Amino acid sequence: MNLSKITGKYVGQSFDKCNCMELVYNFFIDLEIKLPDKYKDLDLYSYMDNWEKDKKGTIKTMLELFRTLGTEVNIKKIKKYDLLAVQEKGNIYAAIAIGVNTIITSHINKGVKVSKLGKYHKVILARRLI
């Protein structure tokens, strides 16, 4: 499946239907890369419940999980398909690089969308899975 087909499959979905962790999991499944659907007390089905109860703890666990996947990438050398943790106004969430300074992510208020890195979205962690 090509990148534009995969991206198009998700863009426009509401956050309720596809949160950032579900997006990452399903996006990489579409690329035939299997990711764990559970890590410690975090899984795809309880992610939002955990986040609402303990935002900092859930983000910490998500970042720990990401560090177990693929290989570390210098945030200045991000390539298409890299798994990212991005920060926007103090919130940290999962994203995928889909082009030069471009990501796909699911935002709690806006759902799944394509965004630019830079002023509002800053990469704090990058991992290469492909």
Report the pLDDT value the prediction gives residue 11, as an integer from 0 to 100. Answer: 96
Report pLDDT digits (tens) over 65-113. Answer: 999 999 999 999 999 999 999 998 888 999 999 998 999 999 888 999 9
3-128: which CATH topology?
endopeptidase fold (from Nostoc punctiforme) (3.90.1720)
Contact 69, 127 (CB under 8 A): yes
Tell me what pLDDT residue 89 has. Answer: 84
Model confidence over 6-58: pLDDT tens digits?
A: 999 999 999 989 999 999 999 999 999 999 988 988 888 888 888 889 989 99
**CA atoms of 73 and 83, how far apart (whole Å):** 9
Structure tokens at 3: 């990148």
pLDDT band (50, 70, 90) for residue 2: confident
What are the residue boundaries of the structural domains of the chain, listed by start? 3-128
Q: Which one, of 41, 3, 40, 48, lies nearest residue 22 by Cα?
A: 48
Question: Which positions ≥6 away from 54 have C-beta within 8 Å?
Answer: none
Predicted pLDDT of residue 81: 95
Residue 1's pLDDT is what? 65
b/e map 87-117, b = 16+ CB within 10 Å: eeeeebbbbbbbeeebbbbbbeeebbeebeb
Return the ∠ at Cα 119 (arms to 60 and 6), rounded to 5°: 70
Task: Specify the pLDDT at position 67.
Answer: 95
